[in-house]
A and B are shown apart, each in its own frame.
Chain A
Amino acid sequence: MNSPIIRLRDISFSYDDKVILNGLNLDIYEGDRIGLIGPNGSGKTTLLYIIMGLLKPNSGIVEIFGKIRQKKKDFIEVRKKIGLLFQDSDSQLFCPTVKEDIAFGPLNLGKKKEEVIKIVEETCEVLGIKELKDRVTYKLSGGEKRLVALATVIAMKPICYLLDEPSLGLDERTIERLLNYLRDNAKTYLIVSHDRNFIKRATDKIYILERGRILYY
């Protein structure tokens, strides 16, 4: 079997005195479609932040693409190849227009301007948000923001997606479109959600995060 894309070993994390993760282990292999559920405050978002290097675990090993990641520098590569969708779309969007926000990631990957323009077009096409392209990000509705946030992640064509509540605030038709996209274009992903129906349709296996550890469903 191949080595996993993401391998977490014995991860512990606490906020002040509250223990959130306690000896957590997780492997994500290429082609895995995992759903992660768990009660509020169980540390689902914290787990995603640890994978992206936004939070540093108190102890444990974070191994991504076969390399142990500890320092800030180690995560630069991780962030270019793993796409995180934040739970709150407002956390994701910061550029004045939708177009610029979608272009931001590909530009960071060092892509040329013409190429980036093409990627923006394609991404908008896939998600059906072409008419939002020139809108101001702050003035979008909640659902529209969600779609644009998704677009900013998709535009980077990550190897693995980490999606925190992707279906939150989306209407049925848009959810359908999102499911189609994931089925056809995304190979590996981890979805955190409370929406059981969505998780069932989008993933092959479901993990539960409880008392700081992952339980297999």
Chain B
Amino acid sequence: MHLEEFAEGDSFLHKADPRVKIIVFCLFSIFCATSTGLKIPFLCVIYSTILIFIAKIKIKNLFSRLIMANFFIIFIWIFIPFSYPTTFYISIGPINLSYEGLKYALSITLKCNAIILATIALLSTSSVFSIAHAMLHIKMPKKLVTVFFLFYRYISVIHDEYTKIKNAVTVRGFVPTTNLHTYKTYAYVIGGILLKSYERADDIYKAMLCRGFQGFFPLFEHFKIKKSDIIFFIVSVLIFILLWVKN
């Protein structure tokens, strides 16, 4: 399983200091989420799109992610235009759509996409390990970072266990059909994944304890902030301020 598909590359954003990227991302998200109207969210989308181009992200993979995320936004378009209070209705046949509601739904869509694009351009371009590492540097709670990191680390372990069991099942000639044997097998597979993952986690925890683990990861390498990182930070913050003043 490849979870960090955007983390490989050598664009400016891939090489940038993760600490700077996290701070810029947080500022951008807060700014974007609290903006109102259509103009600022639209400009935010443009800003994130530029970041995507700087990061040289593969458009095909990007779209598959965006489609997944926008699936949830469809629900906003289903409910808000019908329920938002407004002074002006757009009638299509027997259906009355709230004008304000449509504007509001569009604004939410733009904001969501702007933040998703920024997440991909800024956060996905670093490995999760360096993000966790950077989070420690900017003084986020150690426990939180450890939980975040272990959680991420073990998604792939559970997936591994799943592949193992899937292989065990297929090499012994299992072909799913509609019968009790198939359902029973699926139940065993799910039970097996839970048990094996738990056991694996327990073993790894024991191994960590044996090597002196005390609840958090010590830092081994350190980041070096470069001139280009500072310039990127200043330019981004200036853009946010400019947009904010205009708003």
> Which residues does A use to contact B, with CB under 8 Å?
49, 52, 54, 76, 79-80, 83-84, 86, 88, 90-96, 100, 104-105, 107-109, 138, 152, 156
Dominant secondary structure of chain B at its interface with chain A:
helix
Partner of B188, one of A80, A95, A109: A95
Query: Is the CB–CB distance between B164 and A156 below 8 Å?
Result: no
Q: How far is the CA of A92 from the CA of B172 in the complex (A)?
A: 9
Flag whether B185 is at the interface (Cβ < 8 A).
yes
Supposing A94-B165, A138-B195 touch, asked if A54 and B170 sit within 8 A by C-beta, the answer is: yes
Q: How far is the CA of A153 from the CA of B41 in the complex (A)?
A: 61
Flag whether B85 is at the interface (Cβ < 8 A).
no
Q: How far is the CA of A86 from the CA of B163 in the complex (A)?
A: 13
Q: How far is the CA of A138 from the CA of B161 in the complex (A)?
A: 14
7 further contact pairs, Cβ within 8 A, besides A84-B171, A108-B174, A138-B196? A52-B170, A54-B167, A79-B170, A91-B167, A94-B169, A94-B196, A108-B181
Flag whether B37 is at the interface (Cβ < 8 A).
no
User: 12 A-B contacts, Cβ less than 8 Å apart?
Assistant: A54-B171, A83-B171, A90-B196, A92-B168, A94-B188, A94-B192, A95-B192, A96-B188, A104-B185, A108-B172, A108-B175, A138-B196
A-B contact count (CB 8 A): 57
Contacts of B189 in A (CB 8 A): 94
Query: Is the CB–CB distance between B164 and A105 below 8 Å?
Result: no
Contacts of A138 in B (CB 8 A): 195-196, 199
Q: How far is the CB of A39 from chain B (nearest CB, A)?
A: 24
Contacts of B175 in A (CB 8 A): 76, 108
Q: How far is the CA of A79 from the CA of B199 in the complex (A)?
A: 29
For B172, the closest partner residue in chain A by CB is A105
Supposing A96-B188, A104-B185 touch, asked if A91 and B164 sit within 8 A by C-beta, the answer is: yes
Q: How far is the CB of A163 from chain B (nearest CB, A)?
A: 13
Partner of A109, one of B169, B170, B171, B173: B173
Contacts of A96 in B (CB 8 A): 188, 191
Contacts of B188 in A (CB 8 A): 94-96, 100
Contacts of B168 in A (CB 8 A): 86, 91-94
Q: How far is the CA of A91 from the CA of B188 in the complex (A)?
A: 14
Contacts of B172 in A (CB 8 A): 79, 104-105, 108, 152, 156
Q: How far is the CA of A87 from the CA of B6 in the complex (A)?
A: 33
Contacts of B191 in A (CB 8 A): 96
For B188, the closest partner residue in chain A by CB is A95
Contacts of A76 in B (CB 8 A): 173, 175
Interface string of B80-107 (1 = CB under 8 A from A): 0000000000000000000000000000
Q: How far is the CB of B185 from chain A (nearest CB, A)?
A: 7
Q: How far is the CB of A73 from chain B (nearest CB, A)?
A: 9
For A109, the closest partner residue in chain B by CB is B173
Supposing A90-B196, A94-B188, A138-B195 touch, asked if A79 and B173 sit within 8 A by C-beta, the answer is: yes
Q: How far is the CA of A89 from the CA of B174 in the complex (A)?
A: 18
The A-contacting residues of B in range 159-216, CB under 8 angstroms, are: 164-165, 167-175, 181, 185, 188-189, 191-192, 195-196, 199
Query: Is the CB–CB distance between B195 and A108 below 8 Å?
Result: no
Most buried by A among B167, B169, B196: B167
Q: How far is the CB of A133 from chain B (nearest CB, A)?
A: 17
Contacts of A94 in B (CB 8 A): 165, 168-169, 188-189, 192, 196
Q: How far is the CA of A100 from the CA of B185 in the complex (A)?
A: 10
Supposing A94-B165, A94-B192 touch, asked if A104 and B174 sit within 8 A by C-beta, the answer is: yes
Q: How far is the CB of A91 from chain B (nearest CB, A)?
A: 4
Q: How far is the CA of A24 from the CA of B184 in the complex (A)?
A: 39
Q: How far is the CB of A16 from chain B (nearest CB, A)?
A: 10
Contacts of A49 in B (CB 8 A): 167
For A53, the closest partner residue in chain B by CB is B170
